[in-house]
Amino acid sequence: MSKTFTDRNGCTWTLYDYRVVADEKQKVPLNDSVAECRAFESPENGTVLVYTFGQLSYRTTEPNVLEGQMLFAKPIRHQRARSAEATTERMQA
């Protein structure tokens, strides 16, 4: 199950919760207590941000909580690698 969320800048995000089992992501229902992470996906530009729940994190979809989670969300690894490659290419040009 996923939900659509629009942030303060007007960007639309689809979010879902998941847990990692044997190095594989398994989607779980939103706000489920077994969720370890929340993914924010932008269908407009393909950006994926991941927020990892802490011991005291709120597992809710209230807009103010989602905004806070997005502040601490990080791009998924392969996107970071691509942006680093693009920076290196620009520096060499």
pLDDT category at 88 given cuts 50, 70, 90 is: very low
pLDDT single digits (tens) 12-69: 999 999 999 998 999 999 999 999 999 999 998 899 999 999 988 889 999 999 999 9
Structural domain boundaries, residue 55 = 3-92
pLDDT category at 1 given cuts 50, 70, 90 is: confident
Q: Which pLDDT does position 2 carry in this prediction?
A: 83
pLDDT category at 78 given cuts 50, 70, 90 is: low
When divided into structural domains, the chain yields a total of 1
39 contacts: CB under 8 Å, gap ≥ 6: 15, 16, 17, 18, 48, 49, 50, 51
Within its chain, how far is the Cα of 51 from the centroid? 5
Instruction: Give me the long-range contacts of 19-27 (CB less than 8 A, separation at least 24).
Output: 27/1
